[in-house]
Amino acid sequence: MSRLTRDDIIAGAGRRFATHGYHGTSMRDLGDDLGILGSSIYAHVGGKQELLVAVIERGAGFFAASARRAVEARLEASATLSLLVSGHIDVVLDHRSEARTYLSETSFLEPLDQARVSHARDTYEAVFVDVIARGIAEGVFDRERDAKLSAVYILSVLNTIDRWFDETGRFDKDQLSEDVYGFVTKGLIG
Amino acid sequence: MSRLTRDDIIAGAGRRFATHGYHGTSMRDLGDDLGILGSSIYAHVGGKQELLVAVIERGAGFFAASARRAVEARLEASATLSLLVSGHIDVVLDHRSEARTYLSETSFLEPLDQARVSHARDTYEAVFVDVIARGIAEGVFDRERDAKLSAVYILSVLNTIDRWFDETGRFDKDQLSEDVYGFVTKGLIG
DNA sequence: CCTACCGATCGGTAGG
DNA sequence: CCTACCGATCGGTAGG
């Protein structure tokens, strides 16, 4: 039991915020999880709101990095979308706490932080919109589909995966990615 | 300004819970919204947790009623799914507060209430699974698709609609329903 | 539905 | 990171 680092505190805060919500978490709850007193947390961070910012910033960073990797692979539209899907799934499953807090607690940030995070989210979404629009332009995706709406639908599916997917179940992450990609490209009819 | 009813209090609680979360709402906040004191709310309801139960129960009821209507129409699988989609969209847009609280705050219910609501949610989801399985069996949907996974994907899309859809925008609710149904059945490729 | 409260808990600080 | 606090706010109650 050595001393905790600032990163440990942020990780602990992420776990609590993801499961109990920002307002459902007290500094004493958080201290209990970490094996210290609530008041001791102030030796590491300025306050509760600063913890929320740090957790959400981490979450946003993972998604941004995934989008960057997908785009920099410079593949055709459908392959890029496939990378975006599997990358997003990796983030929500490998960084559950940060991703869930980013997705669910952003409205509890102070206005300036919230605006910055919203902008990051728009930028990320735009990567999906652009690749879908490219696919439509190239004729691989249906010209009847709207790129923006389709991106929102796909992100809705991806952002909910951590809520139901059990990694110890019959499917693994790769099978899930493939199934999601198959669903969003071919639909129920196939 | 006549006296408030119990229903008024529950409606007000729904609005607050949907936007600020259960733990982000104080009885005084709620009183302010309703034009009375926080302590006056106890003349109408037993407590804050009872309000959460009442709001979520309403939300669950709207979804159950929609599923019942879709099933009782006794149409073929694809038409039933279309009714489920448009019915779900009606619920999340016409009863935003109750639907959002039901979808986001259920984990803050006490164990017994939470179990009951989870069961209701499973029952609702099973209606989607069954109609998709029927469509697969009849050959209208792809035999490669898993009914359960597909239902979860579709519900993910539907449950997020209230977060981004602007009814005053270029699309109306019917166009949205049709687009969502087109997306989940035909996918990006069409 | 208000007045006037209550004990518990909250985020946070001074000093070590 | 703990001790020892602080003022503010919380859910809730008695009595009218």
- pLDDT tens-digit map of B118-164: 999 999 999 999 999 999 999 999 999 999 999 999 999 999 999 99
Q: Distance (Å, rounded) from C-alpha B52 to C-alpha B22?
A: 7
pTM for this model (two decimals) = 0.97
Is B142 in CB contact (< 8 Å) with chain A? yes
User: Contacts of residue B186 in chain A, CB cutoff 8 Å?
Assistant: 142, 186-187, 189
**Cβ atoms of residues A190 and B145 within 8 Å:** yes
Is A46 in CB contact (< 8 Å) with chain B? no
Is A157 in CB contact (< 8 Å) with chain B? yes
Where chain A has pLDDT below 70, the residues are 1
Strand C lies under 7 A from the Cβ of residue A49:
yes
Q: Are residues A156 and B160, on separate chains, in Cβ contact within 8 Å?
A: yes
Nearest residue by alpha-carbon distance to C1' of D10: B26
**Cβ atoms of residues B49 and B66 within 8 Å:** no
Q: Distance (Å, rounded) from C-alpha A5 to C-alpha A165?
A: 31
Number of cross-chain residue pairs from A and B with Cβ atoms under 8 Å apart? 111
Q: Which amino acid is residue B94, in one-letter code?
A: D
Strand D lies under 7 A from the Cβ of residue B27:
yes
Collapsed DSSP state (helix, strand, coil) of residue B7? helix
What is the distance in angstroms measured between the alpha-carbon CA of A25 and the sugar C1' of C12? 15
Q: Which residue of A has its CA nearest to B186?
A: A187
Q: Are residues A149 and B183, on separate chains, in Cβ contact within 8 Å?
A: yes
Is A47 in CB contact (< 8 Å) with chain B? no
Strand C lies under 7 A from the Cβ of residue A48:
yes
Angle at which helices A147-164 and A96-104 cross, to 10°: 130
Nearest residue by alpha-carbon distance to C1' of D9: B26
Q: Are residues A149 and B189, on separate chains, in Cβ contact within 8 Å?
A: no
Neighbours of B31 (CB within 10 A): 17
pLDDT digit string (tens) for A33-68?
999 999 999 999 999 999 999 999 999 999 999 999
The token pair at B87 is 């019915």
Nearest CA to B141 out of A173, A79, A182 is that of A182
Strand D lies under 7 A from the Cβ of residue A39:
yes
What is the distance in angstroms measured between the alpha-carbon CA of A93 and the sugar C1' of D1? 33
Q: Give residues with Cβ within 8 angstroms of A3, minimum separation 6.
A: none
Is B115 in CB contact (< 8 Å) with chain A? no
Nucleotide nearest to A50 (CA to C1'): C11
Q: Distance (Å, rounded) from C-alpha B183 to C-alpha B66?
A: 21
Nearest-CA distance from B77 to chain A in Å? 12
pLDDT in tens, chain B (190 residues): 579 999 999 999 999 999 999 999 999 999 999 999 999 999 999 999 999 999 999 999 999 999 999 999 999 999 999 999 999 999 999 999 999 999 999 999 999 999 999 999 999 999 999 999 999 999 999 999 999 999 999 999 999 999 999 989 989 999 999 999 999 999 999 9
Predicted confidence at residue A1, as pLDDT, reads 59
Strand D lies under 7 A from the Cβ of residue A44:
yes
Across the interface, of B22, B132, B190, the residue whose CB is closest to A145 is B190
**Cβ atoms of residues A63 and A129 within 8 Å:** no
Predicted confidence at residue A2, as pLDDT, reads 79
Is B141 in CB contact (< 8 Å) with chain A? yes
Nearest-CA distance from A132 to chain B in Å? 8
